[in-house]
A = this chain, B = another copy of it.
């Protein structure tokens, strides 16, 4: 009955698709919070204007990410959102979403669960960045993401992977080459095999 007819829905809330051209602002600091966003394609930078007047990038949103979650709990946005390239996104209107959450606690529960997983994931990434050595950082990243057989399946390009773990792509390529030479990994067309004793 009240089941989602579309997996993009949150509960019964149907998102609205938006297109934004490169350079345009989705919202500005101080604007009334219109809702939660999900980036389908493109790239969005969240920028905060500091008291001192300088810009500080809070986050760069990549496709597949939700952003502006905090807007649900605040009347106004706390940063600017600027499209870095032509972008498509879904907007879950705040009013509909809060009404939905009030009506159906289960959906709010699921939403909280998603946030909790996000916190977990972000903490993990932050911890990964603590590792200074490229070799160790790459190994840990592979260990975290591999399956039971110790196989890490390609997801996107290695260049993207490099950015994700905070290395230049050159550093990653070199590190992978060295790891293979020393027998720690085996590189295959569709992924990387870990050789832990």
- Which A residues are closer than 8 A to B by beta carbons? 48, 50-54, 56-60, 69-70, 72-73, 101-102, 105, 108-109, 111-113, 115-120, 122-127, 129-130, 140, 143-144, 146-150, 166, 194, 196
Q: Are A54 and B105 in contact (CB under 8 A)?
A: no
Residues of B within 8 A of A53 (CB): 196
Contact of A51 among B48, B124, B125, B150 (CB under 8 A): B150
**Alpha-carbon distance between A118 and B58 when the two chains are bound, in angstroms:** 13
Which applies to chain A's interface (DSSP): helix, strand, loop or mixed?
A: helix
Copies of chain A in the complex: 2
Which 7 pairs show the lowest CB-CB distances between chains A and B? A115-B115, A122-B122, A73-B113, A52-B196, A59-B123, A69-B116, A51-B148
**Max count, chain B CB within 10 A of own CB: residue among A73, A116, A120, A144:** A116
